[in-house]
């Protein structure tokens, strides 16, 4: 069983869409996605610098659009029957919603554009940040976070947990980390997937109320707890609440294993999730679709399943 995975914020790099936009069909499709998001995705995916595309309001629609483009290329020759399921990490869940038919592509872009703006505005209210903690005992780390008023934001598996909260508390964690742990500050705008995002949840709920989700046509797993979701309406509710709740990618990978995963294909801008799979799903073949040149390897993985 092949599972398609959709990356989250931080996976973007300057110019990463250039190889895709060399194909006129992809450029035309991106133009429609840009119009829905009201963001110039071609400009940001080809010419904008790292600081510009780090902006949450830019990064999120850019990542989802890249995922929609690369998924369309992956399935263009009728290979959808070879896909056994789909899931996304953080904002990648919106890509997964589009890929599974819960949301139409344009609705997904409107939703992610609203999400990016709402989260950027919420992040601007207080000085917060995020750090990756690698190698810590989970119980010891959670105790230390509670002492500092920090929260776990992403349980990524393979011994990696991303934590978030006030900048001074993150500095205190780095100064006195749990035993055998490394603390790596991340270049993000704020404490995503924590209580600091509550204002964004309220705004997204209003946006979601105007959407008409369909039930997924592919097995679809949620970041909330790694469970499979069969209702489009329920998945949309989870997308709204997920903004201020932790990403349980570790549990998603456990669910993939339980379902009998035999291969992982990560959509553009790919790399991070296949890296986690190599640690959390050892021995499972992976393909990162960074550019159109990576598609033949993905086709081969699907055809061999």
Do 50 and 137 fall within a single domain?
A: no
Q: 105 and 201, same structural domain?
A: yes
CB 183 within 8 A of CB 132: yes
Pair (175, 222) in one structural domain: no
Residue where a domain terminates, one of 140, 164, 186: 186
pLDDT band at 265 (very low <50, low <70, confident <90, very high): very high
Q: Same structural domain for residues 153 and 286?
A: no
pTM of the model: 0.96
Between CA 93 and CA 96 the distance in angstroms is: 5
Residue 78's pLDDT band, with cuts at 50, 70 and 90, is confident
* Host domain of residue 16: 2-123+194-304
Pair (106, 132) in one structural domain: no
Query: Is the predicted pLDDT of residue 28 greater than 90, yes or no?
Result: yes
Same domain, 27 and 114: yes
Q: Which two tokens stand for residue 175?
A: 């100064």
Q: What is the DSSP string of 2-62?
A: EEEEE--TT---TTTTHHHHTSHHHHHHHHHHHHHHTS-HHHHHHT--HHHHHSHHHHHHH
* Shared-domain flag, residues 107 and 234: yes
Cα 114 to its chain centre, rounded Å, is 16
Average pLDDT, the chain: 96
Q: Are residues 170 and 247 in the same domain?
A: no
Pairwise CA distance, residues 61 & 8, whole Å: 11
Whether 136 and 181 have beta carbons less than 8 Å apart is answered as: yes
pLDDT digits (tens, 9 = 90+) for 139-155: 999 999 999 999 999 99
Cβ atoms of 158 and 280 closer than 8 Å: yes
Residue 89 appears among annotated catalytic residues: no
Residues 23 and 91 occupy one common structural domain: yes
Total domains present in the chain: 2
Residue 81 has pLDDT above 90, yes or no: no
* 245 and 112 within one domain: yes
Handedness of CA 211, 215, 221, 224 (dihedral sign): positive
Which of 48, 193, 245, 255 is catalytic? The answer is 193
User: For residue 287, what are the β-bridge partners?
Assistant: 265
Within 10 A of 112 (CB to CB), how many other CB atoms are there?
A: 29
Report the CATH number at residue 264.
3.40.366.10
Q: Does the active-site annotation cover 47?
A: no
Same structural domain, 16 and 134: no
Read off the pLDDT of each residue in 175-191 and give the average, rounded to a whole number. 93
- pLDDT mean over 24-35: 96
Final residue of a domain: which of 160, 186, 212?
A: 186
Exposed e or buried b per residue across 232-264, where buried means at least 16 C-beta atoms within 10 angstroms of its C-beta: beebbbbbbebbbbbbbbbbbbbbbeeeebebb
Say what the pLDDT of residue 80 is.
80
The CATH number covering residue 169 comes to 3.30.70.250
Phi, psi angles (nearest 5°) of residue 128: -135, 170
Kindly compute the dihedral angle of the four CA atoms of residues 106, 109, 115, 121, in this order, to the nearest 10 degrees. Answer: -120
Q: What value does the mean pLDDT take over residues 68-83?
A: 90
Which residue is listed with tokens 């006030």?
166
Shared domain for 177 and 224, answered yes or no, is: no
- Indicate if the pLDDT at residue 188 is higher than 90: no
Residue of 90, 100, 245, 255 with catalytic role: 90
């Amino acid at each position: 069983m092949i599972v398609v995975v959709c990356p989250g914020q931080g996976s973007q790099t300057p110019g990463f869409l250039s190889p895709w936009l060399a194909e006129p069909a992809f450029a035309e499709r991106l133009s429609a996605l840009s119009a829905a998001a009201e963001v110039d995705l071609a400009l940001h995916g080809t010419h904008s610098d790292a600081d510009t595309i780090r902006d949450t309001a830019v990064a999120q629609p850019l990542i989802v659009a890249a995922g929609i483009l690369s998924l369309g290329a992956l399935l263009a020759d009728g290979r959808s029957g070879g896909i056994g399921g789909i899931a996304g990490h953080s904002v990648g869940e919106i890509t997964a919603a589009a890929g599974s038919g819960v949301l139409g592509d344009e609705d997904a872009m409107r939703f992610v554009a609203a999400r990016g703006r709402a989260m950027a505005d919420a992040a601007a209210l207080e000085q917060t940040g995020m750090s990756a903690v690698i190698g810590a005992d989970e119980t010891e780390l959670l105790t230390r976070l509670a002492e500092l008023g920090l929260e776990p934001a992403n349980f990524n598996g393979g011994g990696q947990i991303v934590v978030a909260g006030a900048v001074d508390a993150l500095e205190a964690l780095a100064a006195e980390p749990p035993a055998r742990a490394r603390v790596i500050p991340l270049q993000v705008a704020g404490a995503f997937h924590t209580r600091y995002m509550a204002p964004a949840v309220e705004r997204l709920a209003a946006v979601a109320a105007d959407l008409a989700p369909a039930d997924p046509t592919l097995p679809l797993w949620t970041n909330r707890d790694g469970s499979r979701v069969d209702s489009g309406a329920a998945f949309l509710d989870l997308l709204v609440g997920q903004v201020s709740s932790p990403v349980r990618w570790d549990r998603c990978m456990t669910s993939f294993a339980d379902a009998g995963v035999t291969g992982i294909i990560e959509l553009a801008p790919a790399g991070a999730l296949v890296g986690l799979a190599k640690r959390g799903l050892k021995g499972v073949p992976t393909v990162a679709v960074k550019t159109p040149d990576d598609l033949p390897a993905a086709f081969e993985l699907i055809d061999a399943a």
